[in-house]
């Protein structure tokens, strides 16, 4: 495909608007594969990198997109026509990303997609599903923590903050499948309908219900995808000896903890570091993808044409995406 051009969404300035440009189709080298992109995720990491506040700063202008799904065009390792998952290998960070019609990446980073998985889900399922699984089972250790009076998974009462988001919705669904009682906290009343059936949905403005959570302290586990200054208050919903697992910080990066009260509350605050737990994530990704194909799990996806990539970024930053956002190249719009 030497000499051909393609459409790509590029960042030209930190914090500035995105532009759709005509650029050369990338050429693959030894150990690399050329992939025709079918769908590209718009991730929070993309926002962070594009802001210029991340440690890794690609050379401007650069093609964004750290995740995606596509079909092999040229490769020494994979059969042409194979649908593959695109992530890792520096995509959107130290090499051109997935917000393009074609991308070149290291062959060893590519994993064939589960049969029946749509390109849109293939582009964006990995992070929310594996993060939710790790948060519950690897970090939160549902059913095995040893909280006094809690011996079985079915005795767990899990509160999920940010239950309408991609990761939060996965946590709710996986906790329900594990036999837990689940309470999903959402930001707005209209989001209550996004919480999976079987869980109690609470909006942030339901003051009486939130006060009851703090008074009763029946929760054994808090999985928090929100962060921010109110995180210590949400930890008080958990019974003494319980734990709070922190996944994200969309509501803010700083908290104040009053140590005497924290010691009295006796709730462990546990971080989810998915970089360190990448091996565990990859171990479970295939089974989680199969659950999406079978319908045992559902993940909301909003698709945007390349020309609306900026709007997708803005909606994601404002917490207004129902699930995950993906960019679809022109040939597949």
Which whole number is the average pLDDT over 272-291? 93
Do 106 and 133 have their domain in common? no
Q: Which DSSP state fits 77?
A: S
Do 64 and 27 have their domain in common? yes
The CATH number of residue 169's host domain is 3.90.180.10
Do 149 and 118 have their domain in common? no
Do 247 and 328 have their domain in common? no
> pTM here?
0.89
Q: Give pLDDT tens digits for 48-96.
A: 999 998 999 999 999 999 999 999 999 999 999 999 999 999 999 999 9
Confidence of residue 2 (pLDDT cuts 50, 70, 90): low
Q: What is the pLDDT of residue 143?
A: 78
Q: What is the pLDDT of residue 250?
A: 83
Do 165 and 263 have their domain in common? yes
Do 144 and 264 have their domain in common? yes
SS3 label, residue 29: coil
Do 119 and 135 have their domain in common? no
> Rg of the chain's alpha carbons, rounded to an integer?
21
Question: What is the rounded distance in angstroms from the CA atom of residue 153 to the CA atom of residue 141?
Answer: 9
Distances (CA, A) of 160 to 181, 296, 298, 300: 11, 19, 17, 17
109-113, 131-135, 139-143: which has the minimum mean pLDDT? 139-143
Full residue range of the structural domain in which residue 263 is found: 128-271
Confidence of residue 147 (pLDDT cuts 50, 70, 90): very low
Find where tokens 């009260």 sit. Answer: 261
Confidence of residue 149 (pLDDT cuts 50, 70, 90): very low
Do 137 and 112 have their domain in common? no
**Both tokens of residue 21?**
């440009």
**Both tokens of residue 237?**
């919903």
Query: Is 101 within a domain?
Result: yes
Contacts of 153 (CB under 8 A, 6+ apart): 142, 143, 178, 179, 180
Do 114 and 172 have their domain in common? no
Q: What is the pLDDT of residue 154?
A: 59
Do 92 and 148 have their domain in common? no
Q: Nearest to residue 89, comparing CAs of 32, 127, 38, 37?
A: 32
One DSSP character per residue, 85-148 reads EEE-TTBTTTB--SSBSEEEEEGGG-EEPPTT--HHHHHHSHHHHHHHHIIIIIIS-TTTS--T
Question: What is the rounded distance in angstroms from the CA atom of residue 148 to the CA atom of residue 146?
Answer: 6
Question: What is the rounded distance in angstroms from the CA atom of residue 234 to the CA atom of residue 255?
Answer: 12
Question: What is the rounded distance in angstroms from the CA atom of residue 61 to the CA atom of residue 14?
Answer: 10
Question: What is the rounded distance in angstroms from the CA atom of residue 114 to the CA atom of residue 90?
Answer: 23
Q: Nearest to residue 236, comparing CAs of 255, 219, 253, 249?
A: 219
pLDDT greater at residue 3 or residue 111: 111
Do 151 and 250 have their domain in common? yes
pLDDT greater at residue 149 or residue 2: 2
Do 20 and 141 have their domain in common? no
Query: Is 106 within a domain?
Result: yes
**Total count of domains within the chain:** 2
Q: What is the pLDDT of residue 123?
A: 98
Q: What is the pLDDT of residue 112?
A: 96
Question: What is the rounded distance in angstroms from the CA atom of residue 238 to the CA atom of residue 217?
Answer: 5
């Amino acid at each position: 495909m030497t000499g051909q051009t393609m459409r790509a969404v590029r960042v030209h300035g930190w914090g500035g608007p995105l532009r759709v440009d005509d650029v050369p189709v990338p050429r693959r080298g030894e150990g690399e594969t050329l992939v025709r992109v079918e769908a590209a995720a718009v991730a929070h990491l993309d926002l962070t990198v594009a802001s210029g506040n991340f440690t890794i700063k690609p050379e401007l202008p650069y093609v964004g997109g750290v995740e995606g799904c596509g079909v092999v065009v040229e490769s020494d390792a994979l059969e042409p026509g194979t649908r593959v998952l695109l992530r890792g290998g520096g995509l959107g960070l130290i090499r051109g990303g997935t917000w393009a019609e074609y991308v070149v990446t290291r062959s060893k980073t590519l994993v064939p997609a589960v049969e029946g998985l749509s390109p849109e889900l293939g582009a964006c399922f990995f992070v929310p599903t594996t993060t939710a699984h790790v948060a519950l089972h690897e970090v939160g250790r549902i059913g095995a923590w040893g909280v006094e009076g809690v011996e079985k998974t079915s005795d767990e009462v899990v509160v999920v903050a940010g239950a309408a988001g991609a990761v939060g919705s996965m946590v709710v669904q996986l906790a329900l499948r594990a036999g837990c009682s689940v309470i999903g906290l959402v930001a707005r009343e209209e989001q209550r309908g996004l919480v999976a059936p079987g869980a109690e949905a609470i909006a942030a403005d339901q003051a009486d219900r939130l006060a009851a959570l703090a008074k009763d302290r029946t929760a054994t586990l808090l999985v928090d995808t929100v962060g921010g200054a109110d995180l210590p208050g949400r930890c008080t919903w958990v019974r003494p000896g319980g734990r709070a697992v922190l996944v994200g910080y969309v509501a803010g990066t700083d908290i104040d903890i009053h140590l005497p009260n924290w010691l009295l509350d006796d709730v462990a605050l546990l971080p989810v570091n998915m970089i360190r737990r990448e091996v565990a994530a990859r171990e479970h990704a295939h089974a989680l993808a199969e659950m999406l194909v079978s319908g045992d799990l559902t993940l909301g996806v909003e698709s945007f044409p390349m020309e609306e990539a900026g709007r997708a970024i803005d909606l994601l930053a404002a917490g207004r995406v129902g699930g995950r956002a993906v960019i679809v190249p022109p040939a597949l719009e």
